[in-house]
Amino acid sequence: MRRLPLAMVVLALVLAAGTAHAAPRDLIGKKVPPVSGKQPSGAPISLEAYTGKVPVILTFWSIYCKSCTEEMSALQKLFDKYGAGKMAVVAVNEDGDVGLTRVRAFIDRFGATAGGKLSLPILFDEKGEVFARLGVLHMPTLIYIDKDGIVREVIEGFDNGRELSVVSAIEKLIASASPAPLKEVESEAVFDFDVVSPICGKYRDGKWFQPIDLDESRADSVARSRSQGEDYLRREAIRRALARLGVTLSGEERTPTCYVRYGLELRTPQYRRDALEQFIERLNLPRVIEVVNQETIERDRDMQLFRRIKVLLPAVREQLDADGFTVTKSTLRIRFARATQIEEKTFIESATNDYPYLSSIKADRTTRDRSEYILVSNTTAEKAAEKLRTLNVGPRKLSVDLLGGDIVEVSMWR
């Protein structure tokens, strides 16, 4: 990935400060700002000529960015495959500092190479105004816009192995423009992921030395790294599928890591159960999840996994219904009528770790006389109170009463 020249970064920051968008990802779900300019030939070009008709791919590139030109080649192949009737690509070039003559020469030279044909419309952003307006600070950056002019996705970078994710996302966007695939979206959700999973072990001088357990081999450590990466991606796929269905479950970040260190040893951490994990445990994953495309790059210290994962939404919805989940969330105020500070802490920890409907729980700092918490659940208030009564609080007795005004009164005693 290539960073913009300092002058353009300053311009981008200055202009972004006066707009509602400070970065490309802030545009997701919003109408794309106006984009217009001139092509290298001098002919005018405008994004508005395409929006409202077909999905549009905005790509930002430079002649000095190798990954940019690789991405341009991939986009050209897609454009050749689908044609102007199903998609549009506008390639915004930022090389105003070297001049139009050099950009034209590069396009001619690149087009003469094998697979280097470029028939995509190019907007020569001589003063960096388009880059600044959309907050682009790195290249390549792709902005996916549906045919109604709404930004659907942003991808920054086109590194080794990234092509699968970029191309699949584009094809998914194109497919969603026709009615038939939209019916499929109602039953399936397809997500593209990539993650770096470290290979835990002992290292010397930055190189692999031996596994933590001497009766294992490097192959065992690699297999463990792959498994941790796969678990993370499955978890993220279910998280996104639930969000698609309107359910947000509490779940800690579990990016693969070896953060527990013992001298030169790197060990895999252990995680607590949370609401998201509890739901995943109840799913029939082979029925719900399918990996439809994948790529794995193994290096000395880690491996990079690229996966396209399809989730069967009706199966997820079926499990949600069976467990009593609702899309409409309930918000309860938890008050302790009788409990010591230790008992209060025990109850809140149990709710955080064992309460299956949890969306969020946080202390209400506006109260002074007693401890109160705001509990947001993916179920009804009655179901929430019923489940809270079953929490494991050790040898203590527990009473949970649902009062008027969505207040839950908790008492604990020995």
**pLDDT tens readout for residues 147-174:** 888 888 888 776 545 555 566 666 666 6
Please report, rounded to a whole number, the percentage of residues in the chain having pLDDT higher than 70.
83
Find out whether 71 and 60 touch, Cβ atoms under 8 Å: no
User: What stretch of H or E contains 1?
Assistant: none
**Distance of CA 82 to CAs 30, 46, 87, 149, Å?**
26, 21, 7, 19
What count of other Cβ atoms lies within 10 Å of the Cβ of residue 407? 14
For the whole model, what pTM was predicted? 0.55
| Residue-wise burial string across 123-146, b where 16 or more C-beta atoms lie within 10 A, e elsewhere | bbbbebbbbbbbbbbebbbbbbbb
pLDDT score of 218 more than 90? no
pLDDT on residue 29: 81
187/310 Cα distance (integer angstroms):
10
pLDDT on residue 10 = 42
What's the alpha-carbon Rg for the chain, to the nearest Å?
26
E strand or H helix at 250: none
pLDDT over 80 (residue 24): no
Determine which of 23-27, 36-40, 46-50, 77-81 has the lowest per-residue pLDDT on average.
23-27
Which residue has tokens 């499990």? 319
The pLDDT tens digits for 301-345 are 899 999 999 999 889 988 999 999 988 889 999 999 989 999 999
Q: How far is CA 239 from CA 12, 244, 251, in A?
A: 34, 9, 9
Helix (H) or strand (E) holding 392: none
* Among candidate residues 308, 317, 314, 331, the one with its CA nearest the CA of residue 378: 331
Q: What is the mean pLDDT of residues 79-92?
A: 86
Nearest to 4 by CA among 137, 159, 143: 137
Rounded to whole angstroms, the Cα distance separating 56 from 154 reads 12
Domains of the chain: 2-177 (3.40.30.10), 184-322 (no CATH), 330-413 (3.30.70)
Helix ranges restricted to H, 56-215 = 66-82, 100-111, 129-133, 163-175, 179-187
pLDDT of the residue at 301: 86
Q: What is the spatial distance between Cα 3 and Cα 196, in angstroms, rounded to a whole number?
A: 22
